Amino acid sequence: MRIILCISALFLGFSSFCQQKELTLEAAILETRTTFAPKTIRALQWLPEREAYSFLEEDGETMIVQDMGDNPTPQRIVKSDVERVFEQKFNRFPAVQWQNDSEFLFRYLQTYYVYNRSTEKGERVFTIPEGAENLDYRNASKAAAYTMDGNVYVKKGAEPSVKVTKFSPEQEIRAGEAIARYEFGIRKGLFWGPEGKQLAFYQKDESKVADYPLLDITTTPGSLRTVKYPMTGQPSESAKVGVYNLDTEKLIYLNVEGPADQYLTNLGWGPDGKYIYLALVHRDQNHIWLNKYDATTGALVKTLFEETHDKYVEPEHAVWFLPTNKNEFLWFSERDGYNHIYRYTADGELLGQVTKGKWVVESILGMTASGDNIVVDGYDPSGLNKYAFSVSLKNGKAKKLSDQSGQHRYKLHSKGILLIDQYNSLKTPNVIDIINTRGKNVKNLIAALNPMKEYKIGSTELVEIQANDGTILQARLIKPSFFDPQNTYPVLVYVYGGPHAQMVKNDRMGGARMWMYEMAERGYLVFTLDNRGSAHRGFEFENAIHRNLGTLEIEDQLAGVDYLKSLNYVDPDRMAVHGWSYGGFMTTSLMLKKPDVFQVGVAGGPVTDWKWYEAMYGERYMDRPEENPKGYKESSLLDKTANLQGDLLLIHGTVDDVVLMQHNLALVKSFVDAGKQVDFFPYPMHPHNVRGKDRVHLMTKVLDYIEDKMGKGNTIGKK
């Protein structure tokens, strides 16, 4: 019998007798961030130099600047006063970026403005053309970089924009954009040097990448829009790094050697602007070279170190130079089984491991004022809670900066003394404190009340379940407000199950989505389990699924099913499963590989054969098809459709450019060939996710289908 531990219960005391209002599905979808969001402080941020913070008042018309100290008088900056300076109406108080303690930058339409709170004056800095994307502004040089039509532009003040690259569409080369389909932590393609006089950028040649057609039904006749999509084992993009000097107006490229389809990841500047650091990853994704390049000539200076792993390596952070010692940097690595930080000299000498232990470091927040410690955030061994830690650079001793369990988000002030600490948990809707780097609470800014206290809503339990090999798995069970253990209830299992995701956590709703509580009020239990392969539990926990996607994950999900069946109040003959993307793959895999477990399944945007997924992600976890034919065959669902016993609804956005619709259409054809009836619903002109008001339609479709096929839930006690 698997060990089962209940480790937390009751979602904010939602079972109060004074609850009156019914939670509707429409409200659960559209009002999550409004009606049902705990009170918070909008646009809260530190000023760059002095210990002061700014935020927007609830009406959104006034920004407050508040100094720390003994009740200093706050400064009020009213939107109408800013409008008067620029003779321009804004539809709301703009989102600002503090450039120094007096000036903030903001954008309205295509124009960027700087307002000085001390002089109450401002200036229009520059205007960018319609269609400009990926804008990155550098205050040090008062210059902006942006992209248009696949080219890089630089603009400085009132001067005309400089077109840095000059590629035509026919060349199929794009510059200044994120590459590698946002894998390896890549989120942008423009990188200013430390003084804003140099601009590095990614560039990708997609001429060998296949064009994939997406049907646009908004034109008459319908037309095709193509996207570049490198499938596993197919030709991929070729990347370069360009460097443009604003003073000399010279463009050079780094002299990166190696295969054309290797990955250029984690681009970072050295603190003096002389060098660029780049992590090269072989297409097999089992080898990293961290290289140092001359930013003026592009020449390779040195390979600082290499890392290998028999499964894969996955760098996701650039070098982080110590502000107190510009000859040393920190580097993230999973080499000891957990994501930790290592200290190197600028020439690649390993000085030691900084963070250690069976926990995962998420990011570096900065340094303490003394320069002796770094401040990081990361997950505890369970993966349920996220905290900040002050870690000694000398001996690696780590001090947790909060005793309050939950999911914390931090902003460290540049002086390294104070942090904004915002957190929530199953028992805490939203708290914002200012704390110091010794862990002392300095000031409470808000402690929100439960916004759901007037609604009928059920309870949440977090449980630990033991997998077949003894691995502890985290799970969540939502019960209706009228739950009675003497009755039996059907179950909806919500699944994701893939890497880089965590569904179960100690936050305000236990990681759940509001629609799950509406489903529970229909008389269902709603269950979710994070199987092996999920995030924040260590490298081995995540890479256990390598080359065999859909195998261990199913074993772990079935451990969750066994747990459910051990509960006297679960109806084992009425179980449904639903998931999207990787969760769609898992849903369909469970319905076809374990056809006697679930009576109903709803799979959104599912991968059905990994040979059709993109190379960067797919080859990391499955290798290339010719290298792993057995794994690809076993994970494919196209030859397993004859196994279907229950009811299955397949859903897909018709212009999905993440999981291409080919996956679902090929699966439907296989069902037809097998003589199996299946339901299919497309969402025209929606990409990988269905958002906005149409999401109400989607979730109505999903939940009503489950009820129609499996029957209403237990309604005893429900009015």
Catalytic residues: 581, 656, 688
Give the β-pairing of 489-494 and 570-580: parallel
Angle, in degrees to the nearest 10, between helices 582-593 and 552-565? 70
Q: What is the DSSP string of 338-384?
A: S-EEEEEETT--EEEE-S-SSSEEEEEEEE-TTSSEEEEEEE-TTSS
C-alpha 242: how far from chain center: 27
Contacts of 475 (CB under 8 A, 6+ apart): 462, 463, 464, 465, 504, 527, 528, 529, 530, 560, 563
Give the residue from 683, 478, 494 showing the smallest Cα distance to 587. Answer: 494
CA trace torsion 103, 108, 112, 118 (10° rounding): -20
Query: Is-contact 625 612, C-beta < 8 A?
Result: no
Alpha helices in 6-78 (DSSP H): 25-30
Reported as half-sphere exposure (CB side, CA atoms, 13 A), residue 4 has a value of 17
Give the residue from 704, 335, 370 showing the smallest Cα distance to 518. Answer: 704
* Amino acid of residue 245: N
* 348 dihedral zone (left: phi>0; alpha: psi -120 to 50; beta): left
Give the residue from 114, 105, 104 showing the smallest Cα distance to 75. Answer: 104
Measured CA to CA, the distance from residue 555 to residue 542 in angstroms comes to 15
Query: Is-contact 635 554, C-beta < 8 A?
Result: no
Q: What is the DSSP string of 292-330?
A: EEETTT--EEEEEEEEE-SS--------EEETTEEEEEE
Give the residue from 580, 537, 591, 616 showing the smallest Cα distance to 690. Answer: 580
Contacts of 391 (CB under 8 A, 6+ apart): 341, 354, 355, 373, 374, 375, 376, 397, 398, 399
- DSSP state letter for 159: S
Q: Which phi and psi angles does 493 have, rounded to 5°?
A: -95, 120
Number of helical (H) and strand (E) elements in the chain, helices listed first: 10, 44
Q: Which phi and psi angles does 559 have, rounded to 5°?
A: -65, -35
Q: Which two tokens stand for residue 71?
A: 């009740």
313 CB burial (10 A radius; 0-12, 13-18, 19+): buried
Q: Is the peptide bond before 160 cis (omega within 30 degrees of 0)?
A: no
Q: What distance separates the 2 farthest-apart alpha carbons in the chain?
A: 79
Measured CA to CA, the distance from residue 651 to residue 602 in angstroms comes to 8
Q: Which two tokens stand for residue 632?
A: 């690809």
CB atoms within 10 A of CB 691: 12
Please give the helix or strand (H or E) that residue 667 lies within, else none: helix 662-674
Contacts of 336 (CB under 8 A, 6+ apart): 353, 356
Measured CA to CA, the distance from residue 360 to residue 542 in angstroms comes to 12
